[in-house]
Amino acid sequence: MNRGVAYSIQNKFADALKDLNKAIELEPRKVDGYHNRALVLTKLGMLLEATTDYTTAIELNHRDVELYVARARIWEELNQPDKAIADYGSAVAIQPTNEQVLRRLTTLGAQRSP
């Protein structure tokens, strides 16, 4: 387990961010650094910053359903249902039988209907 994740587990988010920033600086093409930093940023309530890291992670690995779902959840929290639906749609395109994603799409679609 890397130190950034260990700090995060111990709720030492400032230390986690510092280590994750360094990890990304050293290996900017590695998805895990962005994903883990997005998780920490989310815990800190820095949601827009987290979406930026998820976007970078998705650019590096556009087939990872978990990344789309995590970013979609943030879009929901930010009251951006269209962006959430787009991310859930991308996740379902990769994994059409993902029940969790299908339920979220149904719920969001129902909320948007008049």
- Same-domain pairing of 93 and 107: yes
The pTM (predicted TM-score) of the whole model is: 0.87
pLDDT tens-place string over residues 70-103: 999 999 999 999 999 999 999 999 999 999 999 9
Give the pLDDT band of residue 110 (cuts 50, 70, 90).
confident
CB contact at 8 A, 72 and 88: yes
- Same-domain pairing of 1 and 57: yes
- Same-domain pairing of 56 and 8: yes
Domain coverage including residue 16: 1-61
Instruction: Return the pLDDT at 111.
Output: 79
Q: How far is CA 18 from CA 12, 15, 62, 91, 99, in A?
A: 10, 5, 26, 30, 36
